[in-house]
A and B are shown apart, each in its own frame.
Chain A
């Protein structure tokens, strides 16, 4: 598949195009230009490195939403075996914008749950652009309880613009569904490892992101409101989203410095979409470490530490009262 380039990646795109041209020319001529191609490829590496070393938060958001970025099912393919997808919330319906099921991770049973976006138009609509309705969250909750019942750790992948703001979603209790998940994840008696792999859009993301270890891929974002939404509230114009992205603090590095994220999983040069297998390998390693770290803890200690961690969230002043 041809790589789609973002605006700020134009210098890379131009070099890639040049290589293409040369390759085309080579077929027609006898001159060996492989040296020249090699030189250009090195240059691409250098330029990519340079561009990606100083991405603005808004540019990171573009990478996080890249149309070719690996989604939950891609990572499931790379990282797990024997994936048995389970469907439905048992009371209203099946929501394909969240996928989940049993799988093996290095042979061990796990419950995998994640937001799922679509690749082409048809799948995008089927997956509702990764925006779950209440039944999606209730399916996730059902699967977590199932995992708890059999002592199976839960692994979640977060990648959503947000919970779906629709009429039916409100009628069926979007708020309650999200709130209930937060509650269940706070008390679940098995390890939970959460990774933001793309977009962490507000409450719709948090609803499957409360855990013992919370990680982010290097170019993922996690935010209380989308930069566009924030900009349209603050300046009545979504055009100023880049500024909003700056002040909201949505990048992995910023959130790690605020101790809201435990670990940043590095991505291949130029982002996960350039090398999905490489990204998956890094993620697998990180999951392995996280699960190993949690495996010895008893349920009581696990839940106790998770609780303490949740209670530590927040920055405020403590006044001295006379």
Chain B
């Protein structure tokens, strides 16, 4: 996103900019789960959920915010925080180059987008991971933006919603990224002491350092259908235990059965569900919006 776009009032900002990965340029798109051939605009209108089988395609952070928040009164936070290659990390490519490539590909400056707004008129803060930015990995910027989101919640008495889609900690920032786990989680203690709700929504995938920090600590933990959620990746586990993993292992339905999450919510109902939960937690009347 250019600086000019950022300066525009959120209302006229073109939200949802950036490439839509799962919708090819053509008019038609094939569902990766059921192979149904779908009209691209239908799919998009359906929150990128296959109308035939309910498969949830990955979508960008801004598309999620567009689905979640009311049109009025949106305000983006944390844009002033930008990444830095503190370790001068270089493998086949420099980290700084990877950052530049990711920015070009997604239009984002890092993997977390924070936006203040309202969910069906209930004021709330939303922090959403952008998976296409280096696998939605958490480095210093993601950590700092998350904390600034929490700070704004504390100042304005707002509940926090976080939608995760991430591979975990960002290797390229070494131990600095591991420490973001401690930093983000510590921030939640402040939300709690001010009795502000934190609702965690786990989208596909939520793994590693993000799942093993704040993501599983929501007052309410929601997952999208079939989302892969866990600490270690399935391949690592398979190599360690030397056996085939059970069907549906680490999927949202599996976590629900094991008692790890509160509910699975279809993306198309998420906004209603969040409004209902927030008003119940905050002891507000039913949201109208």
The stretch from A95-103, A171-179, A270-278, A280-288 touching chain B is A171-179
Contacts of B83 in A (CB 8 A): 316-317
Contacts of B245 in A (CB 8 A): 167
Q: CA A247 – CA B81 in complex, angstroms? A: 24
Residue of A whose beta carbon sits closest to that of B85: A315
Please state if A316 and B141 are interface contacts (CB–CB under 8 Å): yes
State the majority secondary structure of interface residues on B: helix
**Quick check: is A182 within 8 A (CB to CB) of the other chain?**
yes
Chain B 225-249 interface mask (CB, 8 Å, partner A; 1/0): 0000111110011001101011001
Please state if A165 and B90 are interface contacts (CB–CB under 8 Å): no
Shortest distance from the beta carbon of B230 to any chain A beta carbon, whole Å: 5
Please state if B175 and A260 are interface contacts (CB–CB under 8 Å): yes
Which residues of B from 208 to 235 have beta carbons under 8 Å from A? 208-209, 211-217, 229-233
Q: Considering only CB atoms and an 8 Å cut-off, how many residues of chain B contact the other chain?
A: 65
Chain B 72-94 interface mask (CB, 8 Å, partner A; 1/0): 00000001111110110111100
**Quick check: is B277 within 8 A (CB to CB) of the other chain?**
no
**Quick check: is A13 within 8 A (CB to CB) of the other chain?**
no
Shortest distance from the beta carbon of A222 to any chain B beta carbon, whole Å: 6
Most B CB contacts (10 A, CB to CB) among A230, A306, A317 go to: A317
Contacts of B179 in A (CB 8 A): 206, 260, 310, 313-314
Please state if A206 and B178 are interface contacts (CB–CB under 8 Å): yes
**Quick check: is A31 within 8 A (CB to CB) of the other chain?**
no
Contacts of B213 in A (CB 8 A): 178-179, 182, 203
Residue of A whose beta carbon sits closest to that of B170: A224
Q: Known contacts A170-B250, A258-B176, A313-B179; decide if A225 and B171 are in contact (CB<8 Å).
A: yes
The stretch from B23-31, B41-49, B100-108, B186-194 touching chain A is B186-194
Q: CA A224 – CA B237 in complex, angstroms? A: 18
Please state if B231 and A183 are interface contacts (CB–CB under 8 Å): no
Q: Known contacts A163-B231, A234-B92, A315-B140; decide if A179 and B217 are in contact (CB<8 Å).
A: yes
Chain A 168-205 interface mask (CB, 8 Å, partner B; 1/0): 01111111101110110111000000000000001100
Contacts of B80 in A (CB 8 A): 318-321
Please state if B86 and A315 are interface contacts (CB–CB under 8 Å): yes
Q: Known contacts A182-B213, A313-B183, A316-B83; decide if A166 and B237 are in contact (CB<8 Å).
A: yes
> What number of residue pairs across chains A and B have CB atoms under 8 A from each other?
193
**Quick check: is A235 within 8 A (CB to CB) of the other chain?**
yes
Residue of A whose beta carbon sits closest to that of B188: A183
Q: CA A321 – CA B6 in complex, angstroms? A: 10
Q: CA A314 – CA B177 in complex, angstroms? A: 7
The stretch from A39-47, A61-69, A248-256 touching chain B is A248-256
Residue of B whose beta carbon sits closest to that of A243: B91
Q: CA A163 – CA B240 in complex, angstroms? A: 12
Residue of A whose beta carbon sits closest to that of B208: A203
Please state if A311 and B216 are interface contacts (CB–CB under 8 Å): no
**Quick check: is B65 within 8 A (CB to CB) of the other chain?**
no
Contacts of A224 in B (CB 8 A): 169, 171, 173-175, 177-178, 209
Please state if B258 and A166 are interface contacts (CB–CB under 8 Å): no
Shortest distance from the beta carbon of B100 to any chain A beta carbon, whole Å: 14
**Quick check: is B205 within 8 A (CB to CB) of the other chain?**
no
13 new A-B contacts at CB < 8 Å, known A313-B176, A314-B183 = A166-B241, A170-B232, A171-B258, A173-B258, A175-B231, A178-B213, A179-B185, A179-B213, A223-B178, A247-B91, A307-B190, A313-B183, A316-B140
Selected A-B contacts with CB under 8 Å, 16 pairs: A163-B232, A165-B232, A166-B240, A170-B231, A176-B217, A179-B213, A179-B214, A182-B182, A206-B178, A249-B87, A310-B179, A313-B183, A314-B139, A314-B140, A317-B82, A322-B7
